[in-house]
Each structure stands twice: as C-alpha cells, then as structure tokens.
C-alpha cells in the first residue's frame, strides 16, 4: 500500500485523491482476481457445461449488487449495469475454463 494513501474523508488535495483511487483500483483488481478464482473453481466442480449459465443466479447476484448500492447511496442502476457486465464476463470465463479443463 502506498504510504501516502488516505481515506477519502481525510484527503486535502487531488494528489491524495489520485493515490487513493489508484490504490483502490489495485484492491478492486485483487478482489476481481479472487472472484474469477471462484469461476475457475465452479468450472472445475460443475460436471455439466449446460449448468454454467444459471439465469436465476445471475439475476440474484445483480439484484443483490443493485440493492447494496442503493443502501450505500451509490448510483444503483448504473452499478446494476456494471454487475450485469461482470456476471456475463464471469460466465464467459467459466465456460472457457470448463472447456480448457476437459480438453
């Protein structure tokens, strides 16, 4: 972590804000790496390629993110769209992994 990292409420200039944004982006990437690790695990565990796409689960994940964003006072509909992209990308990744493991 950058020694100059400050939480948003303690930032006093744009250099501190930019350091915080960059640090947060790195942390988000670490979390995405873990999330995609779960996609690799799902690809390994699921024995039927046809169950990789689960529309009910997709809807649940996206709604959970939208509701969480709303509770936090964040732009819920915009984040819902980002989560839809994230879930679709995750499904595509899991399908590639499913095929890779079995070929």
Q: Which residues are annotated as part of the binding site for substrate?
A: 18, 35, 46, 94
CA pseudo-torsion sign 68, 72, 77, 82: negative
Q: Which residues are annotated as part of the binding site?
A: 18, 35, 46, 94
From the centroid of its chain, how far is CA 59?
A: 15
Diameter of the chain measured on Cα atoms = 54
The angle formed by the CA atoms of residues 26, 6 and 75, to the nearest 5 degrees, is 65
Q: Rounded distance, CA 61 to CA 3, Å? A: 35
């Amino acid at each position: 972590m950058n020694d100059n990292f400050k939480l948003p409420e303690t930032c006093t200039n744009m250099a501190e804000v930019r350091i915080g944004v960059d640090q947060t982006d790195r942390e988000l990437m670490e979390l995405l790496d873990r999330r995609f690790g779960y996609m690799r695990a799902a690809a390994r565990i699921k024995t039927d390629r046809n169950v990789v796409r689960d529309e009910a689960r997709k809807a649940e994940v996206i709604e959970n993110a939208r509701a969480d964003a709303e509770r936090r006072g964040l732009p819920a509909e915009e984040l819902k769209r980002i989560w839809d992209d994230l879930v679709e990308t995750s499904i595509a990744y899991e399908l590639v992994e499913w095929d890779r493991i079995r070929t």
